[in-house]
Amino acid sequence: MRLLIVGPLSGYISAAGKIALARGAKVAQIDDIDRAMAALRAGQGADLVMIDVKLDVGRMVQALKAERIHIHVVACGVGTDAESAVRAIKAGAKEYIPLPPDAQLIASVLEAVAAESHQLVFRDPVMAQVLRLADQIAPSDASVLITGESGTGKEIMARHLHRKSRRAEKPFISINCAAIPEQLLESELFGHEKGAFTGAVARRLGKFEEAHGGTLLLDEVTEMHPRLQAKLLRAIQEREIDRVGGSQPVKVDIRVIATSNRDMEEAVRQGQFRDDLYFRLNVVTLRLPALRERPADVAALAEHFAKKYAALNGFDYRGLSDAARAMLVRHHWRGNVRELENTIHRAVLLSNGNEIDVDAIMLTGQRLTPEPAAAQASGIVVAPAHQPRPAGAGASAVSPAANGGVPIGTLVGRTVADVERDLIIETLQHCLGNRTHAAGILGISIRTLRNKLQQYKQEGLSVPLPGDVEARV
């Protein structure tokens, strides 16, 4: 985790930086916005920017957006300055941190905004075998191709390889090749010179140069346009790149790791991916098994996520009941580890009592229900497995059967709309008003969530503000 503090490093902001350092972040500080932007263009990477609200937060956000530098921005200022807090959120800051800093709040923001949790958790022999191979090849500089379904943890494996390599003290830089339009991806990868195209206000180093000495992860590499595949092949072979608009090649020293959730040999056969690039990337292949292929990992991961989200939300840790654990192990996990993580996050928020039981677990898609004996022991109602909800159904799919059975006494006399509304509002409050995090926990799109919140506002209900400023300043 790389934190860039923008603003004079004094007083409370200095204390915030020290807390971040204690939490394992690498902290850098720059006094003003212009010099911060210059440092980012020059390859000083950051995962999160913490900016003093006394500076122009909106200008910082817009400058990053204009130059397609994708970094989360959080604002910080004296806790009683509610007007500045509101202004910062409206300007585009993802969060507002009141000062003096609270250690738990800063830890939560670092975790939630930057999503820097890369611990490998496993018990299953199938995954242990993959780890043995990964540890064997990690010290080399060989290119590695990591394949597997979406949500299996390919980026986490890539970071594991980096940590175990001789480049561990150097940068680990990742870029999602599927998330950036083809006309912009070239500049993101190789950088550009000032004036190379409209909007190129200054020289900017690309991901290859930013990763110099370290590791570059090309996430979902099969989504890259064929024209760029040729330029990527040259960069990997020659270990040099050409900036957009540049006249001289630039030498780079990197290790390349690529990931894909597609059948790459099939993509090569169909002419969608260059065979020479495939063979250049595929020195060693690591295939990550789907979660349903490693059942012994389900309970271990569930306990890990339960501890993680209890700490993030300021709750006491509650373990999983035997019935809940059995329910999780039998689920198909179409979304793999990512789906399991979201499921446990929801369960932590919804659980009552001394442990997380089946009534707090809301599974998605086609699934089995608890065994009758387990259901009777836990006091839940056994309902037939429901069919996958139709696309666009959003949060309206909430029902007594949707979470494997809810204690019926808590629902009698209430409509589905009432239960849905309370779940959405309470989840949003737990996320400090952050729409993106709440939508992820609820398993709905951000658009669906916003439509629901707009409906509640029109009905005269109070909806938490983004950043939940009123509750935190």
The domain that contains 162 carries what CATH number? 3.40.50.300
Q: Label residue 53 exposed, middle or buried (CB < 10 Å: 0-12, 13-18, 19+).
A: buried
Answer with the one of 52, 79, 114 that is the final residue of a domain: 114
Helices 103-114, 296-312: crossing angle, 10 deg rounding: 130
Tell me the average pLDDT across 265-276. 92
112, 437 Cβ separation under 8 angstroms? yes
Residues 138 and 283 in one domain: yes
Residue 236 lies in a domain: yes
Distances (CA, A) of 221 to 141, 227, 242: 19, 13, 19
Residues 69 and 189 in one domain: no
pLDDT, one tens digit per residue, over 431-472 is 777 787 788 778 787 778 888 888 888 777 778 876 543 333
Residues 320 and 461 in one domain: yes
Tell me the average pLDDT across 422-426. 84
| CATH code of the domain in which 15 resides | 3.40.50.2300
pLDDT, one tens digit per residue, over 188-208 is 899 888 888 777 778 888 899
Residues 307 and 453 in one domain: yes
Residues 135 and 108 in one domain: no
Answer with the one of 248, 275, 291 that is the final residue of a domain: 291
| Lowest-confidence segment of 98-102, 242-246, 419-423 by average pLDDT | 98-102
| Lowest-confidence segment of 48-62, 363-377, 435-449 by average pLDDT | 363-377
Radius of gyration of the chain measured on its C-alpha atoms: 24
Residues 287 and 303 in one domain: no
What is the token pair recorded at 136? 């064997």
Q: Which of 305, 281, 129, 138 is nearest to 220 (CA)?
A: 281
Structural domain containing residue 218: 125-291
Residues 149 and 283 in one domain: yes
Residue 120 lies in a domain: no
Answer with the one of 114, 143, 163 that is the final residue of a domain: 114
The residues near 102 (Cβ < 8 Å, ≥ 6 apart) are: none
Residue 15 lies in a domain: yes
Check whether 335 has a pLDDT greater than 80. yes
| CATH code of the domain in which 376 resides | 1.10.8.60
Residue 229 lies in a domain: yes
Residues 366 and 465 in one domain: yes
Q: How many domains does the chain have?
A: 3
Residues 303 and 286 in one domain: no
pLDDT computed for residue 391 by the predictor:
35
Residues 282 and 316 in one domain: no
| Lowest-confidence segment of 88-97, 212-221, 303-312, 429-438 by average pLDDT | 429-438
Average pLDDT, the chain: 80
pLDDT computed for residue 432 by the predictor:
73
Residues 146 and 106 in one domain: no
Residue 369 pLDDT level (bands cut at 50, 70, 90): very low
| Lowest-confidence segment of 91-105, 174-188, 281-295, 340-354 by average pLDDT | 91-105
Check whether 114 has a pLDDT greater than 50. no
pLDDT, one tens digit per residue, over 226-256 is 889 999 999 999 999 999 888 889 999 999 9
Residue 159 lies in a domain: yes
Check whether 380 has a pLDDT greater than 70. no
Percent of the chain with pLDDT over 70: 83
3-state SS of the chain is CEEEEECCCCHHHHHHHHHHHHCCCEEEEECCHHHHHHHHHCCCCCCEEEEECCCCHHHHHHHHHHCCCCCEEEEEEECCCHHHHHHHHHCCCCEEEEECCCHHHHHHHHHHHHCCCCCCCCCCHHHHHHHHHHHHHCCCCCCEEEECCCCCCHHHHHHHHHHCCCCCCCCEEEEECCCCCHHHHHHHHHCECCCCCCCCCCCECCHHHHCCCCEEEEECHHHCCHHHHHHHHHHHHHCEECCECCCCCEECCCEEEEEECCCHHHHHHCCCCCHHHHHHHCCEEEECCCHHHCCHHHHHHHHHHHHHHHHHCCCCCCCECHHHHHHHHHCCCCCHHHHHHHHHHHHHHHCCCCCECHHHCCCCCCCCCCCHHHHHHHCCCCCCCCCCCCCCCHHHHCCCCCCCCCCHHHCCCCCHHHHHHHHHHHHHHHCCCCHHHHHHHHCCCHHHHHHHHHHHHHCCCCCCCHHHHHHHC
Residues 287 and 140 in one domain: yes
Residue 119 lies in a domain: no
